[in-house]
Chains A and B, each alone.
Chain A
Amino acid sequence: MSQSPKQVIDSVFDRAAPDRYPSTFSAQSVAVYRAGYTMERFMNLPPAEQARFSYDTAKEHGGDFLHIGLGGTVAVAALGGKIKFRAHGPADVEEPLVKSIADLDKVDIGKVRQYHYYQTALETARHIVALAGGEYHIQTGSWGIFTQAGLFYGAERLMRAVVKDKQAVYALLDFTLEFYKSLVGGFIDLGATYGGGADPTSSGDLISKRAFEEFSLPYLRKTYEWYRSRGLKTQLHICGDINDRVDLIPDTLTDALSVDYKVDILRAAGILDGRVIIGGNADPATSILTGSPESLRREYGAIADSLEGYPYIIMPGCGIPQHTPLENIDAVNAFARSRAPAPYAHTGRRP
Chain B
Amino acid sequence: MASRETELHQLLSDSVLDMDEDRVRDYADEVVAEGYDAYNAIDKGLADGMDRAGRLFEDGEYFVPELIICSDAMYRGLEILKPHLAREDGARKVKAVIGVIEGDTHDIGKNLVRILTEAGGFEMIDLGRDVPPLTFVERAEAEDADLILISTLMTTTMPGMARVIELLGERGSRGRFKVMVGGGPVSPAFARKIGADGYARNAAEAVRVAKALAGIEVDAQ
Contact = CB atoms under 8 A, between A and B. Distances in A.
A319 B155 contact: yes
A286 B154 CA distance: 13
B221 interface: no
Contact of A88 (B66, B68, B103, B189): B103
A323 interface: yes
A208 interface: yes
Contact of B155 (A84, A207, A320): A320
A54 B29 CA distance: 63
A208 B64 CA distance: 8
A286 B189 contact: yes
Nearest to A86: B103
Contacts of B111: 156
Interface in A66-92: 84, 86, 88-90, 92
Contacts of A261: 187
A290 interface: yes
Nearest to A89: B156
B158 interface: yes
A240 B184 contact: yes
B65 A283 contact: no
A321 B158 contact: yes
A285 B202 CA distance: 18
Interface in A139-189: 155-156, 159-160, 162-164
A207 B103 contact: no
B72 interface: yes
B190 interface: yes
B184 A205 contact: yes
B49 to A, nearest CB: 16
B157 interface: yes
A323 B69 CA distance: 37
Contacts of B32: none
A32 to B, nearest CB: 12
Nearest to A261: B187
B158 A285 contact: yes
Contacts of B63: 204, 206-208, 211
A279 interface: no
Contacts of B197: none
B19 interface: yes
A318 B65 CA distance: 23
A156 B72 CA distance: 12
A163 B105 contact: no
Contacts of B159: 289, 321, 323
Interface in B74-130: 103-108, 111, 130
A205 B151 CA distance: 14
Nearest to A87: B103
A261 B72 CA distance: 32
A82 B161 CA distance: 26
Interface in B164-197: 184-187, 189-190, 193
A156 B68 contact: yes
Which interface residue of B68, B69, B157, B184 has the most chain A CB atoms within 10 A?
A: B184
A231 B23 CA distance: 53
B65 A321 contact: no
A348 interface: no
A319 B156 contact: yes
Interface of B: 19, 60, 63-66, 68-69, 72, 103-108, 111, 130, 153-159, 184-187, 189-190, 193, 202
Given A239-B184, A319-B156, 17 more contacts: A92-B104, A94-B105, A155-B108, A156-B111, A159-B108, A160-B65, A160-B68, A162-B65, A163-B19, A206-B108, A240-B185, A244-B60, A261-B187, A285-B158, A289-B159, A320-B156, A321-B159
Interface of A: 29, 84, 86, 88-90, 92-94, 155-156, 159-160, 162-164, 200, 203-208, 211, 239-240, 244, 260-261, 283-286, 289-290, 318-323
